[in-house]
Structure 1
């Protein structure tokens, strides 16, 4: 891998393959430390003696795509939103695919239903790999949806 940073626009398409999200619009936000993912609902359970979280998110045109996923809870922390309100959020670690790159990131779950972008990509997820052109937008195009395997709907 070269030392050159990949340039992102202020918004990009991302994928979270381990969560079953092949593409999602994300706002690139260097003012936010952590990344956040919109969820409509979340629930906790124990798997193999460890705490897990299940969640549902809807996104896409007219919110027509519904994804249910689950992941081990990595951490829980207080997070201040853009209005300064503090909230305790669940964090998980998951692979992010963006601009031909993949890296594992930390992401918190919250209701971003009132926001234009279901995901916010914070600076810790970008550090050392990406740089931002605030005049750019969707510089890396939309990832293709996976092709269904024969015999699957």
Structure 2
């Protein structure tokens, strides 16, 4: 299988969250992918436990302020960028990159101090993409005109 070449930053879409072509940092040093989320809360909807949250930061141009609700989630211990273990919610959602749609796991975390609200880690990249760290937005060449 031919691997598509992507850069160190790419625009991805997360259709289940209503997000289209949002910048994501490609991080081969991180294993897990993550999305900035705020106001995370487990609520009961029609007798089911549901995780609700808002994706991205209020100042982000793709921020909608709408609550996203997911039924399938779990908690996972993740080492943050400072090496400390944190308990984070983990969800599975679809994402689009380089004209392909994939299902992948993302942790929901506070990335407000980071430059990019979305981080793509090795687990998502493995066996799919090669990363050219000297370039950005290489996936656009694969998008259908």
CA shift at 1:72, angstroms? 1.9
Does the 8 A contact of 2:50 with 2:70 survive in 1? yes
Structure-1 separation of matches of 2:129 and 2:48: 33
CA contact (8 A) 1:21 1:67 kept: no
CA contact (8 A) 2:51 2:73 kept: no
Aligned length: 140
Q: What is the aligned partner in structure 2 of residue 131 from structure 1?
A: 130
TM-score by length of 1: 0.83
1:35-114 superposed matches below 5 A = 35-47=33-45, 49-59=47-57, 62-64=59-61, 65-68=63-66, 69-114=68-113
> Following TM superposition, where does structure 1 have runs of at least 4 consecutive aligned residues deviating by more than 2 angstroms?
46-51, 57-60, 62-68
CA positional deviation for 1:95: 0.4
Query: Which runs of no fewer than 5 residues in structure 2 stay unpaired?
Result: none
Tell me, yes or no, if the aligned pair for 2:5 and 2:139 is still in contact at 8 Å: no
TM-score between both structures, scaled by the size of structure 2: 0.87
Deviation at 1:82, TM superposition (A): 1.1
RMSD after superposition:
2.1
**Equivalent residue of 1:32, what SS?**
coil
CA contact (8 A) 1:73 1:90 kept: no
Q: Indicate which of 17, 20, 23 corresponds to 1:19.
A: 17
Structure 1: gaps (5+ residues): 145-153
